[in-house]
Structure 1
Amino acid sequence: SVKKAIQLFRDDHYENMIVTGIPILKWQPVSGYHNVAEATAAVIRKLGFRDTIYLAPIPASILRDRTYSTAVVTRELFEQHPQWKKSFNIYSVGVHSRRSRLMFEKAFGDDYHIGIYADNDQSFDAVHWWKSSKGFRNVSNEFMAYLFVRFFFHPDIHQYIKQIDFGKYVDSIEKFRAKSIAEFTDPSKTPLDSLHFYTAYHDPVYFSANPTFRVKAGFEIDTTGEIFGMATNTNRKPNYRIYGHLHFMIGDTAQQLTVYQNVDFMNDPEYGKLLFLPFRDKTNEHSTYGAGRYLDISIPASDSIYLDFNKAYNPYCAYADRWSCPLVPFENHLEVSILAGEKKYRDSH
């Protein structure tokens, strides 16, 4: 069906290809793809398709009304490209094609003209569908589902957009954390001692992603201070300088944190673009690592930045005693609980 869709795209001279797909949950660590859209796009590339492929996957948290949610995500993609024509065709396989088109029409409204190319499901005879159990089940179930969508399904698109936006945010945090987990599982990169890695390994533990702890912070640059050796849990003192200050709110309480720049990495093509933000809060010694946690933030391009504590991570010292880690300066001790980011790894640290 993928080959047929590519051929249809070329024969009818379509301008844009949008690939949709539900999340891959069970086999994601093995497949390397987060959703069917990514996997399908990879197959299309391997078949020699060189035009731009636009992806419209739904978040992993969307478990109901996935076809309609897919339509909403696709509509958002069209809104991001106002130069696109308000006309498109859906390539779909199986008896649900008419219902899929109806779902898209409900999501897009009357301003769009939507067609459908319905390919046959080869697992049963579409002409004599009643002669097989799968054909009878699929067609009869789909008939009832179509009637439901036609007459009883009246979605509030704004509510779906809200759910999708939240799901996209959660997915972005999960992808961020997956990098740390991948590092943990690699014996050549893990911060764990080899004995612990092979005898008592478990993945890092996190708070559930919470947008409440993604806050907009005012940024005040201040690089007038002297370079200093930042204290660590060892005799090592890496060279840092204060780069500026962040002002933000947690709930109804004003907060301030100082951000630092590692002087030795200022010219590094990757790390030179980042600032170091160590902090402590009231969760330390309870649900999070006692010595505090870290954030890496991009150097702000303006006087504000979004500070996402859901990306807070533990220093390597949380996993093994052999590491040397910067200690959190006193001015970065918060008198609130940051219930976001990475939790304590084990009780002995």
Structure 2
Amino acid sequence: MRLSLKTWIILLGLGIIAVYFLSDLIFNNSQYLETIHLERKTKNREFKGRNSPLTEPERPSFDSLDYFAPNPEYKFLADLEVYENPETYPMQMTGGEPEQYFKFGKATFELEGKPYSLTLFKKVKEEGQPKLFVPFTDKTNGFETYGGGRFIDLPMPGTNAAGIEIDFNKAYNPFCAYNSEYNCPVPPQENRLQIKIPVGEKTFHK
């Protein structure tokens, strides 16, 4: 069957559009992965400096933290519910004495076809730029990742925002993972995910 000139033009146009979107996706993913690698290199440099959580004898021999390979599928927009009257929550700390946080809201999302949620916290007495704090555990803890859980920091959402970006590739260990002298938040029960999150920072090996 011979196709008309009009049909060929339509097919050519659709092909051009498909190539455009595919190349744009590849370019964006490449930029994203480059950003993740750059952030990790910067953190490695910081861990060799004087403000590192590592003990002083460990710093000269430190080379790099260990990470899962970045996976853009674990970066997504979650539904956001901001609590109108945030309650104060005493976050349990490894040192015993709790620290006060506000329960700012809840992020709801899907992974592997199942719904999950995380409570978003904001420190009551916070210095510097305000941000949201998300301590969590998942089924990699105690195996590929630190047994005490990991953290994510999120920028404050805009007014009336209905969603918030969560990127598990940026999940990091508490300082307690490197040095037992630190006092770290313990992820609350409501943020204990019953799924593996195989991205972000892995267990620290001395």
Instruction: Decide: shared fold, TM above 0.5.
Output: yes
Closer/same/farther in 2, CA of residues 159 and 190 from structure 1, 3 Å limit: same
> Which of 191, 197, 208 is the matching residue for 2:59?
197
> Which of 95, 120, 128 is the matching residue for 1:259?
120
- Partner Cα separation in structure 1 for residue 173 and residue 108 of structure 2: 23
What is the aligned partner in structure 1 of residue 109 from structure 2?
248
Where does 1:1-349 land on structure 2 (aligned, <5 Å)?
156=19, 158-186=21-49, 188-198=50-60, 200-222=61-83, 224-265=85-126, 268-270=127-129, 272=130, 274-301=131-158, 302-346=161-205
For residue 285 of structure 1, what is the amino acid of its counterpart? G
Indicate the structure with greater helix content: 1
- Partner Cα separation in structure 2 for residue 175 and residue 311 of structure 1: 12
1:91-139 residue CA offsets vs partner (Å, 9 max, x unmatched)? xxxxxxxxxxxxxxxxxxxxxxxxxxxxxxxxxxxxxxxxxxxxxxxxx
- Partner Cα separation in structure 2 for residue 300 and residue 161 of structure 1: 26
Conserved? CA contact 1:230–1:240, under 8 Å? yes
- Partner Cα separation in structure 1 for residue 194 and residue 165 of structure 2: 20
Give the C-alpha shift of residue 223 in structure 1: 5.0
* TM-score when normalising by structure 1: 0.51
Give the C-alpha shift of residue 281 in structure 1: 0.3
- Partner Cα separation in structure 1 for residue 162 and residue 22 of structure 2: 32
Conserved? CA contact 2:78–2:166, under 8 Å? yes
Unpaired runs of at least 5, structure 1: 1-155
- Partner Cα separation in structure 1 for residue 203 and residue 72 of structure 2: 21
Give the C-alpha shift of residue 283 in structure 1: 0.5
What is the aligned partner in structure 1 of residue 9 from structure 2?
none
1:304-345 residue CA offsets vs partner (Å, 9 max, x unmatched)? 011100011000000011000000001000011101111111
Conserved? CA contact 1:181–1:203, under 8 Å? yes
Q: Relative contact order (C-alpha < 8 Å, sep 6+): which is higher? A: 2
Conserved? CA contact 1:215–1:249, under 8 Å? no
Give the C-alpha shift of residue 247 in structure 1: 0.3
Percent identity for Structure 1 against Structure 2 = 31
Closer/same/farther in 2, CA of residues 223 and 320 from structure 1, 3 Å limit: farther
Indicate the structure with greater strand content: 2
- Partner Cα separation in structure 2 for residue 240 and residue 309 of structure 1: 22
Give the C-alpha shift of residue 178 in structure 1: 2.8
Aligned CA RMSD, in angstroms, stands at 1.7
Give the C-alpha shift of residue 164 in structure 1: 1.6
Q: Secondary structure, in 3 states, of the residue corresponding to 1:160? A: helix
- Partner Cα separation in structure 1 for residue 20 and residue 105 of structure 2: 42
- Partner Cα separation in structure 2 for residue 201 and residue 294 of structure 1: 22
Give the C-alpha shift of residue 295 in structure 1: 0.3
* TM-score when normalising by structure 2: 0.84
Alignment: residue pair count: 186
Conserved? CA contact 2:139–2:194, under 8 Å? yes
- Partner Cα separation in structure 2 for residue 158 and residue 241 of structure 1: 41
Q: Secondary structure, in 3 states, of the residue corresponding to 1:264? A: coil
